[in-house]
Structure 1
Amino acid sequence: MGYDRRERKEVEWIPKTELGKKVKAGEVTDINTVLDKHIPIREQQITELLIPNLTVDFILVGQAKGKFGGGQRRIFRVSQKKTSEGNRPTFLTFAVVGNNDGIVGFGVGRAAETVPARNKAVENAKKNLLKIKRGCGSWECGCGEPHSIPYSVTGRCSSVTITLYPAPKGIGLCVTDECKKILKLAGIKDVWSRTTGKTSSRMNLIKALFDALKNLSKYHVQEKYASKIVDGVKR
């Protein structure tokens, strides 16, 4: 049989960072320990070992030209630069990863071809993880289960502002389809939202949503309510 260049051989991971060496040696086995101490993740294999059930999804940030003026949404946004050799295209894509249980990450990838751009986005997303606080902050529910967020929170990016509100169980995710992908991967099942600004810019809307999720960890909760909030993976 001939050699197929498309087949990629699996190379044994040799960690280069101190955290990577501890993870491979089995000294660090919990992703919450890494995120609580704010240790930067420089290698994607660290996330793959600590969170084996990670799910990857892509945001539809681009649009293909339609035959009669309409267009179909794509995961790649194409930009071209004019050079002496002709037009040089660049592909941009936005990847989201999560375990559906309080951990979510996002990353952006750019390259001259689609596959390298997609791989870069996934790699960057695995290095940029967030712990999401979940709870039941709706006065209409009060079940105490981590199906929503514990309190309202706001995120901003450029002119876009998004505010997330706790919702009772059964309401679902009252956000756009692309924001639903992120909240589902974060383990949030019910939420209300309100957006202002130029929300047609999906990149700014997604970045504003992640800014809101980051702000969930900036608030301190009283001890009598802290027991009802799940921070990160539910133990």
Structure 2
Amino acid sequence: MSSMFSSQQQQAEWKPRTTLGRDVLAGKITSMDQIYENGLRIQESEIVKHLLPDIKSQVVHVGIVQKQTDAGEMTRFNALVAVGNEAGWFGIGKGKASQMRLAIDKATNAAYLNVIPVKLGCGSWECKCTQLHSVPFKVRGKGGSVTLEIIPGPRGLGLVAGENIKNLLKLAGLKDSWTKTFGSTNTMSSTTKAVFNALRSTYSVG
């Protein structure tokens, strides 16, 4: 399941609840880079939507959990959502609720709060251009039993990956790369976390 929609469709009138939110709305902070360079913590999803107006969300997975209680069987939904602006910002989040829509909303909100910067570049020895179309060097990430490697690719290669991973990398802003996976990539929760950790290491490693 992968529905994409712009965060602008969800925008309501925002009344910030935190100092950071008020500074963003007042124009004292004008970019996500400022927030990360100063080590500030984002506690409102509206901050991300305001500073990255072109950010999109993608429902990665929705699962049903049925639990037996004294009152009978209770059904709950688990949602996994990824967000990104296709230009160097990416996040993932999970949500649980008794209704699918609420679970997706919770997961989307959590994904905004988990947004990280992704360092884009051209680490391909075959290409050596200056455009931000791939990763600057090989990165690796782990999630559960899944390990993922993202290897720089030359321009025009495209994303050599399974459909789910390809969609996540595109959301982060990658256009060309090879990928290698180890473990059961059918588990979307682990696979998505492996992608997130690999992309996060573009900054922590380099």
Amino acid at match of 2:138: S
Matched residues in 2 for 1:168 and 1:92: separation?
Answer: 38
Matched residues in 1 for 2:177 and 2:12: separation?
Answer: 42
Amino acid at match of 1:143: C
Alignment of 1:1-235 (within 5 A): 12-59=13-60, 61=61, 76-220=62-206
Aligned residues: 196
Matched residues in 2 for 1:127 and 1:56: separation?
Answer: 13
Which 4+ runs in 1 deviate beyond 6 A? none
Amino acid at match of 1:100: E
Matched residues in 2 for 1:212 and 1:98: separation?
Answer: 15
Matched residues in 1 for 2:181 and 2:146: separation?
Answer: 7
Matched residues in 2 for 1:112 and 1:22: separation?
Answer: 35
Shift of 1:125: 1.1
Shift of 1:107: 0.9
Corresponding residue number in structure 2 for 1:70 = none
Matched residues in 2 for 1:52 and 1:101: separation?
Answer: 12
Amino acid at match of 1:189: K
Matched residues in 1 for 2:13 and 2:138: separation?
Answer: 45
**TM-score normalised by length of structure 2:** 0.91
Identity among equivalent positions (%) equals 37
Amino acid at match of 2:27: G
State the Cα RMSD in Å.
1.4
Gap runs ≥5 in structure 2: 1-10
Matched residues in 2 for 1:186 and 1:158: separation?
Answer: 21
Q: Kindly provide the CA deviation profile for residues 4-32 of structure 1, in whole angstroms up to 9, marking residues without a partner as x.
A: xxxxxx86432121101101111111111
1:45 is paired with a residue whose SS is helix
Matched residues in 1 for 2:169 and 2:12: separation?
Answer: 33
Matched residues in 2 for 1:118 and 1:160: separation?
Answer: 24
Look at both structures and tell me which one has the larger radius of gyration over its CA atoms.
Answer: 1
Shift of 1:91: 0.4
Shift of 1:46: 0.8
**Greater helix share, 1 or 2?**
2
Matched residues in 1 for 2:170 and 2:157: separation?
Answer: 14
Q: Kindly provide the CA deviation profile for residues 162-200 of structure 1, in whole angstroms up to 9, marking residues without a partner as x.
A: 111001111111112111121111110001011111222
1:100 is paired with a residue whose SS is coil
